Amino acid sequence: MSTNYKRTSHTVYDNNYHLVWITKYRYQVLVGDIATRMVELTRQICQENNVEIIRGAIGDGNHVHIYVSIPPYISVSKVVQQVKGKTSRKIMQEYPELKKRYWGRHFWAVGYFSKTAGNVTDEEIKKYIESHGKDDKYGKFTINHE
């Protein structure tokens, strides 16, 4: 199991996600100052939400990749909603030339990609769970699938 655990007052966790989202119509506008500002805003928003950015990149000027550690009390969808929503609003305010291209006031395309990341296999987790509770006073907790 991983040794990079993070802690809150009542939780120990290691929840890492690879998130990707694209600009509307895949316009290649994430270049130069706009890309730099996007990175700054994303860092700020993640920090405000206690989300650690492990790695990040802007690809082909039209999409964002971030590899993040998200606390268990925040949903992945909430993190993406915060980042996409706040960056869209700020970028559109600060770069009025984008308003012609994004006349509908939507900077990002609908949706995103999310994948959990880790170095523990399903088999390792099953073995770990099976090795616990054999002498537990509450008995073995099993669910049988047919």
Q: So which residues are the catalytic ones?
A: 128
Show the tokens assigned to 75: 């949903």
Q: How far apart are CA 57 and CA 67, in angstroms?
A: 9
Whether 98 and 29 have beta carbons less than 8 Å apart is answered as yes
List Cβ neighbours of 66 (8 Å cut-off, separation of 6 or more): 18, 19, 20, 42, 46, 53, 55, 56, 57
